[in-house]
Amino acid sequence: MNILFFHPTFDSKQWIDGIHRRLPQANVRAWHRGDTQPADYALVWHPPQEMLAPRHTLKGIFVLGAGVDAILTQEQRNPGTLPAGVPLIRLEDTGMALQMQEYALASVLRYFRRLDEYQLFQQQKQWRPLAAHQHSQFTVGLLGAGVLGNAVADKLIDLKFKVRSWSRSPKSREGVDSFHGNDQLHDFAGGCKLLINLLPNTPQTAGILNRNLFARLSQHAYLINLGRGMHLVDGDLLRALDSGQIAAATLDVFNDEPLQRMHPFWSHPRVTVTPHIGADTLPDEAMDSIVANIQAIEAGREPSGVVDRTRGY
């Protein structure tokens, strides 16, 4: 069994040694330009076109992250980058759900307890107690009801928040008011005091965080974007912040990364910026998942996390 590895920033030795420990019978190698030797599987992130395009005999291509939008965009721009008929497989949880729970809960509680406002008061040396938010009037809306969205919903429910979710197709979960499809998007947003975006990046979800959606939220609502930068219309958020429709926003993802130094998000007093750290790929957990899927394929079973290329996730 031959396994190719390519990631522009990861330590290839760590991954090659880790996969080999789990699959001693496998020949695992880092891909370099000119490598046309046989391969059964490929582990990749932002691979060059020449790496995968000619490899129609691959049994699976594993994307080293939860999102597959980058590699699907490569395919759209350079058709043939992904060999036809080869399963594209994404990482599912592999430790990312816990990280998303931590980030989302820290941000939700910061706004719910109004700690962001008290931080501003501290800078102004103001001793100014504020009326506390109430759970009954602080509905949290989750855009995305997949593995990550459900994990965040569970923790919010534990903390007695009212939770609703929206997804493209029908889904249900105990304790969550579920909405789906474009026809129910505005109904979902109506009355949400805080909106968390965890959607995959697809042509259908690009620009979904826009002025029309913001207008449906409760007055002085909060936004947490953990999905992709392409989901957000930057100018619409800035206008919503200036009008007070959005009270504050926490942004971990951006259209251009790193965020340009002159972008107004950096200096806006009601925007919190973090450098795409919501959930990192954890090597050991990821390798365990990938090897389990390789073993499933070798045994003739269906792997988990297979991507529907037409839907984008």
The catalytic residue positions are 228, 276
Sign of CA dihedral 278, 147, 219, 121: negative
CA dist., res. 185 & res. 164, Å (int): 11
86 contacts: CB under 8 Å, gap ≥ 6: 55, 56, 58, 59, 60, 61
- With tokens 């959607």, the residue in question is 199
- Which two tokens mark 104? 């989302």
- Measured CA to CA, the distance from residue 249 to residue 237 in angstroms comes to 9
| Three-class DSSP labels, the chain | CEEEEECCCCCHHHHHHHHHHHCCCCEEEECCCCCCCCCCEEEECCCCHHHHCCCCCCCEEEECCCCCHHHHHHHHHCCCCCCCCCCEEECCCCCHHHHHHHHHHHHHHHHHCCHHHHHHHHHCCCCCCCCCCCHHHCCEEEECCCHHHHHHHHHHHHCCCCEEEEECCCCCECCEEEEECHHHHHHHHCCCCEEEECCCCCCCCCCCECHHHHHHCCCCEEEEECCCHHHECHHHHHHHHHHCCEEEEEECCCCCCCCCCCCCCCCCCCEEECCCCCCCCCHHHHHHHHHHHHHHHHCCCCCCCECCCCCCC
